[in-house]
Structure 1
Amino acid sequence: MKIRTDDNVIVIAGKDRGKTGKVIRVDPQKERVYVEGLNMVKRHQRPVQGRPNLEIGVIEKEGPIHVSNVAIVDPKTNKPTRVGVTRGEQGRRVRVTRRSGVEID
């Protein structure tokens, strides 16, 4: 997957289309990403013995979004872009945006 944690992404399909946020978690096996403040779902949380700081009741948290429904935000133009991989100095792999050619890492 070319999208990683702490990347700024824009949702290009679904109920949150057009919204942007920061990736907080990536699940490569299921090809899902969790974006801060987007695709909020409600879950019922019971008290757990031994975990007094756990939030109880109906809580809202981020739900997963398929990686094909998000795109990296180009830092130069603030528009969605694809990601490519090139070789940088000393032959290390570097992620670059296809729209403007800026390094992402």
Structure 2
Amino acid sequence: MKKTDYPTWEMYSRSLTNEEYADPTLVLDELFDFAHLPEWRTLLWDWLKITVSGSYNTETTAAERASILCVYEKLQKLIEASHLLYIQQKTSKENTKEKERHIF
């Protein structure tokens, strides 16, 4: 699906706080305060195994299910913060190109 197929409101954050929206790098701090890189690899692997095997309700404890939901929320924020950084960088590059066109 192309970006233009979405309503405009879908392009905005749903889960970032005002503070995180103003400084998306705060989401990275939160992400790695929650778990270090090796732990994230394990969390993602466990999430994949549970999802693919279909054992979410049958072989996982309540604590494991809560952890999976927390991982989802963290990844949602990470994607939204990354999108915000992407848009900021893209806009900055476009502004630089526009300024260069006016100079020459």
Q: TM-score, normalised by structure 1?
A: 0.23
Bigger radius of gyration, 1 or 2? 2
Higher fraction of strand: 1
Question: Which gives a bigger RCO, structure 1 or 2 (Cα 8 Å, sep 6+)?
Answer: 2
- Higher helix proportion, which one? 2
